Structure 1
Amino acid sequence: MANLPPSLSMGTPFGGPSTSAAGAPANKDRNLASAEQLVLDLSNPELRENALLELSKKRELFQDLAPLLWNSFGTIAALLQEIVSIYSVLAPPNLTPAQSNRVCNSLALLQIPDTLISCFHTLQCVASHSDTRMLFLKAHIPLYLYPFLNTTSKSRPFEYLRLTSLGVIGALVKVDDTEVISFLLSTEIIPLCLRTMEMGSELSKTVATFIVQKILLDDVGMDYICTTAERFFAVGRVLGNMVQSLVEQPSPRLLKHIIRCYLRLSDNPRACAALGSCLPDSLRDGTFSNCLREDQIARRWLQQLVHNVGVGRVPSHQGGGFEHML
C-alpha cells in the first residue's frame, strides 16, 4: 500500500509492535489484514460500497484507521468522489420539469444510501484523529460538506445529509483546538449552522448548536461573534427563536446547548448588556423548570445566566451594549 508510514506498514499491527500476550498478535494481524484490504477496496468502484459499509461498522476495532485512510493512495479522493457525485441533486431550480420529477420520485423512495453515510462516518474518523485532523483541515475537506448544509429541503434524505455533515464538523470541534476554530471561522460555518438551527430537525439543530457552542467557548470564536453587533444579534436572534419553539415542544438536550451558548455570551460585557433586553423571558420565569428537572448542570447554568444578565445590564444611555453600534 503506497505512502504508508512505517508504523502502518503491511507487517506491523495497528498500535505498534506485536505483543507477547497469547492470541493478541494473531487478532491484531487479522484486524490489520482486514482493514488494509478494505481500504484498498475503496479505490475500486465495484468494491467500494461493501468496503465503506464494513469500515463504518468495524471502525472501532481498527486502531489508527484514520492514518491508514489518509496515507493510502487514492482513498480520500475516492471518499470525496462519493460526496461530489450527489451534488447534482442539490439544486432542483437548475433542473428541467422532467428531470425534476424524476429526481423527486427518486428521492421519495430514497433513504440516504448506506454507502454515503458510511463515507461520512469514515471522514469523521479522519477528522477526529490527532494525526490526521490538521491535514484534513489543510486540505479544506470540510468545504466539500458545506453544500449539504446549504440546502433548505426538509425531506428526510436532505435532513440526513445535513445531520451527517454536521457530525463531521462536530468531530472537529470536540477536540477544543483553537486552530480548528480559526479555520472554521475563515469559512461560512456560522451562517450555515444558524440556518440549520432555524430549519433543521431537532437532532440536527442540536448538533449545529453544539458546534456554535464549541466555537463560542474558544476565545477566538467568542471574539469573532462579539466583534460586531451584526454577528451577535444574528446568533442571538436564532437562539431566541429556538427558545420560543421549545416552549411548545421542549427538548432538554437542545435547551441545554442553547443555555450554554447564552451563558458563554454573558461572559462578554457588551454581549451581557445586550442580553438584558433580548434574553427570552421564558428563560427567566421558570417556563422550563420541568424540562430541566433532571439536569442539574443545565439548571445551574441557567441560574448563572440569569444572574449574569441581571447584574451585567448597563443603562442604554451609557452605551454599554451593542445597540449603539447598529
Structure 2
Amino acid sequence: MNAVVGSQGNKDRKMQSAEQLVLDLSNPDLRENALLELSKNKEFFQDLAPFVWTSFGTIAALIQEIVSIYPVLSPPNLTPAQSNRVCNALALLQCVASHPDTRMLFLNAHIPLYLYPFLNTTSKSRPFEYLRLTSLGVIGALVKVDDTEVISFLLSTEIIPLCLRTMEMGSELSKTVATFIVQKILLDDVGLDYICTTAERFFAVGRVLGNMVAALAEQPSSRLLKHIIRCYLRLSDNPRACDALRSCLPDMLRDATFSSCLREDPTTRRWLQQLLHNVQGPRVALQAGGGFDHMLVN
C-alpha cells in the first residue's frame, strides 16, 4: 500500500514539475532550459500534451521558436545549438500531435504547416538532417492513428512532394520515416485515390520508389525496404496503378536481389509475394477509360 502511495506521490511531483516547466516556456529567459527538460522527460509526464495545449501562451512560444529559425534556412546557416533547441520545441509538438485529446485541435490550427519549410531544405549537414527528421516525426505521429480526416488535411497541403524529396535525399532514418508517412497516406482509400487520380502523381511516387530500390541494392536496409514494398503493394490495389506496375515495377523486386535482406522478415516476404502475384497475375482488362498510358497520351 505504501509503495502505491509513494509511486502516486512521485507521479504527482513529476507532473507538478512538468507543469512548472511548461509555464517557464512563456518566459524567454527560462525557455531554453524548459524546452530541454521537457523534451528529455516527456514520456514520464502523463497528460503533458493537454497541458501544453491549454496553458496560456505555450503553443505561441513553441511557434515562435520554429519561426525564429526560418532566416537561417536559406542560405543554410543553421548551427547545431539552434537545431537542438528548435528540435526540443518540435518534440513537444509531437507530443501534442500524438495525444487523442489534442491531435485534431493541433491539426485544425494548421500547425503542421509551420514545419514544411524545414522539410523543404536540402542541406545534408547534421543540424539540417536532425531538423528534417524531427519534423517528419511530428507528421508521422499524426498519421500513426488511422484517421481519414488527418489524411485529407495532409493531402490538401504539399506533404507528398515534401516526403518524396526526403525519400530521395535524406539519411536512411529520414527516408524511412518519410516513406512510412507516404505508406500511411496510401493505406487510406482517400490517399490511394489521390495518388492514382493522375498519371503525373502516380509516376512521381513510382519514380522515387524505383530510385530507392536501386539505391538499396547498393546499401541494403530491411526496415526501409519493408515500407517501400508495402507502398507498392498498396498501389497494386488500384487497377490502373497495378497495370502500370507491370512495366515499371523494378526488376530487383522480381528477382532474388533482396532475398537475404528479407530472410528474417516473413511479413515483408509475404507482402512481396502478394505484390508479384497482383502485378504478374492474369492481365485483367481495365474498365473504359484505360490506364495511365491512356491518361498521359490525352
Structure 2 CA distance for aligned equivalents of residues 51 and 43 of structure 1: 10
Contact 2:83 2:127 in 1 (8 A): no
Contact 2:69 2:82 in 1 (8 A): no
Structure 2 CA distance for aligned equivalents of residues 20 and 292 of structure 1: 47
- State the partner residue of 2:151: 181
- State the partner residue of 2:116: 146
Number of equivalences = 295
| Per-residue Cα deviation, 1:154-206 (whole angstroms, up to 9, x for no partner) | 11111111111000000000011110000000000000000111111111011
- State the partner residue of 2:266: 296
**Offset of 1:314 from its aligned partner?**
5.0
Asked if residue 48 in structure 1 is aligned to residue 28 in structure 2, the reply is no
Contact 1:272 1:321 in 2 (8 A): no
Question: Greater CA radius of gyration, 1 or 2?
Answer: 1
Alignment of 1:15-164 (within 5 A): 21-92=4-75, 103=77, 107=79, 110=80, 113-164=83-134
Asked if residue 194 in structure 1 is aligned to residue 164 in structure 2, the reply is yes
Structure 2 CA distance for aligned equivalents of residues 197 and 22 of structure 1: 49
- State the partner residue of 1:10: none
CA-atom RMSD, angstroms? 2.0
Asked if residue 274 in structure 1 is aligned to residue 244 in structure 2, the reply is yes
Look up the SS of the partner of 2:281 in the other structure. helix
| Per-residue Cα deviation, 1:268-307 (whole angstroms, up to 9, x for no partner) | 1111011000000000011100111111111111111011
Contact 1:112 1:161 in 2 (8 A): no
Which residue, out of 140, 152, 160, partners 1:170?
A: 140
Contact 1:273 1:312 in 2 (8 A): no
- Alpha carbons of structure 1 residues 258 and 111: separation in structure 2 relative to 1, 3 Å: farther
Structure 1 CA distance for aligned equivalents of residues 62 and 232 of structure 2: 37
Look up the SS of the partner of 1:131 in the other structure. coil
Contact 1:222 1:265 in 2 (8 A): yes
- State the partner residue of 1:7: none
- Alpha carbons of structure 1 residues 237 and 89: separation in structure 2 relative to 1, 3 Å: same
- State the partner residue of 2:226: 256
Gaps of 5+ in 1: 1-18, 93-99
Which residue, out of 191, 214, 218, partners 1:244?
A: 214
Structure 2 CA distance for aligned equivalents of residues 320 and 264 of structure 1: 20
Structure 2 CA distance for aligned equivalents of residues 255 and 30 of structure 1: 44
TM-score by length of 1: 0.86
Q: Percent identity?
A: 80
Contact 2:18 2:45 in 1 (8 A): yes
Structure 2 CA distance for aligned equivalents of residues 111 and 65 of structure 1: 25
AA paired with 2:66?
Answer: I
- State the partner residue of 1:12: none
**Offset of 1:113 from its aligned partner?**
4.0
Contact 2:73 2:121 in 1 (8 A): yes
AA paired with 2:136?
Answer: L
Which residue, out of 187, 195, 200, partners 1:225?
A: 195
**Offset of 1:112 from its aligned partner?**
5.0
- State the partner residue of 2:256: 286
Contact 1:276 1:313 in 2 (8 A): no
User: Which moves more between the two structures, 125-134 or 148-157?
Assistant: 148-157
Gaps of 5+ in 2: none
**Offset of 1:111 from its aligned partner?**
5.4
Structure 2 CA distance for aligned equivalents of residues 315 and 325 of structure 1: 16
Structure 1 CA distance for aligned equivalents of residues 31 and 100 of structure 2: 26
